[in-house]
Amino acid sequence: MHFKTPPDDRHASITTVAMPRDTNALGDIFGGWLMSHADIAGAVLAYSRAGGRVVTAAVDGFVFIAPVYVGDLVSFYTDIARVGRTSIVVDVTLFAQSDWGAGEREHRVATASLTYVHVNHDHRPTPVPPRTGTG
């Protein structure tokens, strides 16, 4: 699922600060920078679920809801939407906080769904193992 507000029961997969080098020609944060971090955030969860190497197969429905500015604290929350035979779909929700030193609330800035495929050392799809334990 995509979160409407930052979930209380988990940490963000990545939290980082948007820097001046990450801007587009308008001076706002470049969408590609957000996409790159969303891909990494999703891959962290997919790798952990698969128990090994994953590749990004598809990025679906990347929606930019609000601009991100230099100095914003940006958090990438992830959630597994679906596990197939070899694929894992991860929903990523991005939140930003401008005046984070003053405790301003995080607001949602983007959502996306990314499909990862578990691959073996020959880069061929290989089954995602059943989930073990509580994780």
Which parts of this chain interact with ligand COA (CB under 6 A)? Answer: 55-58, 84-87, 115, 117, 119, 123, 125
Our CB check for ligand COA shows the closer of 85 and 131 to be: 85
Q: Quote the least distance from Cβ 132 to ligand COA, whole Å.
A: 19
- Cβ-proximal residue to ligand COA, closest one: 84
Q: Quote the least distance from Cβ 119 to ligand COA, whole Å.
A: 5
Q: Report the 10 Å Cβ neighbour count for 89.
A: 19
User: For residues 76 and 12, is the Cβ–Cβ distance under 8 A?
Assistant: yes
Give the C-alpha separation, 77 to 41, whole Å: 8
List of residues 6+ apart from 97 with CB closer than 8 A: 72, 73, 75, 104, 105, 106, 107
Our CB check for ligand COA shows the closer of 111 and 115 to be: 115
Q: Degrees (nearest 5) of the Cα angle 89, 1, 107?
A: 120
Q: Quote the least distance from Cβ 76 to ligand COA, whole Å.
A: 17
Our CB check for ligand COA shows the closer of 87 and 97 to be: 87
Residues present in the chain in total: 135
Q: Quote the least distance from Cβ 124 to ligand COA, whole Å.
A: 7
